[in-house]
Copies of this chain bind each other. A is one copy, B any other.
Amino acid sequence: MNPPNWQTYLVTQASLSEGRSTLEIVEAAIAGGVDAVQLREKDTDARRRYELGLEVRELTAEAGVDLIVNDRVDIARAIDADGVHVGQSDLPVAVARGLLGSDAIVGCSASTVAEAREAEAEGADYLGVGTIYGTTSKDVDPEQDGVGPERVAAIADAVSIPIVGIGGITADNAGSVVEAGATGVAVISEITAADDPRAATEALAQAVETATPIENGGIANE
């Protein structure tokens, strides 16, 4: 497959959606032009993730939006997702690749240059780099500062696969992440918890679109 060239990437988490359904959030994000959706829903059992995944697959397929499943390769296959995203505590990239084949997208979370290099060597198609800014969306210390756009720049310099920044990204700071070398940004709260998830997606896309990637040895301009 071609390396994913996503500018905006929604990671789902029903518990942050202020009572709205994940489907409703995904629908709004698609209307707002999101490029990829990751079915995360970590606190939901496999049966529900599978059932929800079938519905999200229908919406994303209709819209031509890529669908990635967090962690579970089996659910990704069962709902015919485009790929899987694994973290450092999930199945190794090479194992996920072996199960899904070469046509699937396999992404990996990396917070250091070493993790990024290893994921690329194992065959990852893209990296989720973060936590960029301190965030309460995922299971990280909400007080931490995050690795910052500097880490994106360091990783972009070390690998040649696309990077999406994740963690505490908003329309206000997304530009810095892209300028540091990311292709796009992944968010949970910025879209999921927004008053208007569609407008939030559009604002994010606009911020990424207008950012000027630094012209250097990273992946920005290749």
Residues of A within 8 A of B (CB): 45-48, 50, 71-75, 77-78, 88-92, 95-96, 98-99
Set of chain B residues within 8 Å of A71, measured between Cβ atoms: 46
The reply to whether B77 and A99 form a contact with Cβ atoms under 8 Å apart is yes
The reply to whether B72 and A98 form a contact with Cβ atoms under 8 Å apart is no
The reply to whether B92 and A47 form a contact with Cβ atoms under 8 Å apart is yes
Subset of 23 A-B contacts with CB under 8 Å:
A45-B89, A46-B71, A46-B90, A46-B91, A47-B89, A47-B91, A47-B92, A48-B89, A50-B91, A50-B92, A50-B95, A72-B72, A72-B74, A73-B74, A74-B74, A74-B77, A74-B91, A74-B96, A74-B99, A75-B91, A78-B91, A78-B98, A78-B99
Q: How far is the CA of A46 from the CA of B50 in the complex (A)?
A: 17
Does more than half of chain A's interface fall in helix, strand or loop, or is it mixed? helix
Copies held by the complex: 2
Known pairs A46-B89, A47-B90, A77-B99. 4 more at Cβ < 8 A? Answer: A45-B90, A47-B89, A48-B89, A50-B91
Give the residue name and chain of the B residue nearest to A96 (CB). Answer: B74
Give the residue name and chain of the B residue nearest to A95 (CB). Answer: B78
Set of chain B residues within 8 Å of A96, measured between Cβ atoms: 74
Set of chain B residues within 8 Å of A48, measured between Cβ atoms: 89
